[in-house]
Structure 1
């Protein structure tokens, strides 16, 4: 539904803007790729060390899957902090997944994702790409251990909330 609203807005902007910032309509005879199904995260694991622990690393790791027609993609995502850094996993910066068209942020317990893709039906280069965004809050199963907190979630959906 969101994708159809965005398409309608793009058509409206095409009529009202001028110059190089004009949004273009989709090419005739083309069916644009649409991020309408939620993304899937599986095997989400975090380990946050306690302050002062010098021989362990904090980390986050998960598998990402996009099931949308024509955009199918599976990749792994992870971030490991330096041993003994005492830094938190919560970070406002995006980090690349193995397939670098997917990036993630883990901040204040929320996983935010962005997915870059190219589609010739959107327009000619350099107007043939889009970035889809989504975020979700895991419901972790957490266990305290001597060096920190180990948290897991087997599976969760991440709705696509916007595109640019």
Structure 2
């Protein structure tokens, strides 16, 4: 499994997300400032609503820009059993039912899904509940993840 290729995929997806968010922000700004959206009375809130949307889109652009910068600066490191799982680790997990999952731990950008061949890989951050449990763990360890009243146990099969 090539972590460098996965790293490139994350950067490509974030770059595409940034372009889309920038376009959405521009559209929202143009809508908010268009002359037809000037309020005619105190109940006419279309322009105000459009300005809220534009501000939200601008924040989203900045968040993606920061995430992209973190990924561009990420140095991929090989797994060191002494330190355990760290940032840039590729981890295979198995739950109690035998279902396998592969996760790539990055600085941010959780929610991204990558495909390398037939393998689907979920990007998680160390701040995610699963990421918190994995950091410092080692291949062969079992971890328990509690979400509300539900607990799931995972065995760490292997790490790159």
Q: Which has the larger radius of gyration?
A: 2
Higher relative contact order (Cα pairs below 8 Å, separated by 6+ residues)? 1
- Name the structure where helix makes up a greater proportion of residues: 2
Q: TM-score, normalised by structure 2?
A: 0.27
Q: TM-score, normalised by structure 1?
A: 0.27
- Name the structure where strand makes up a greater proportion of residues: 1
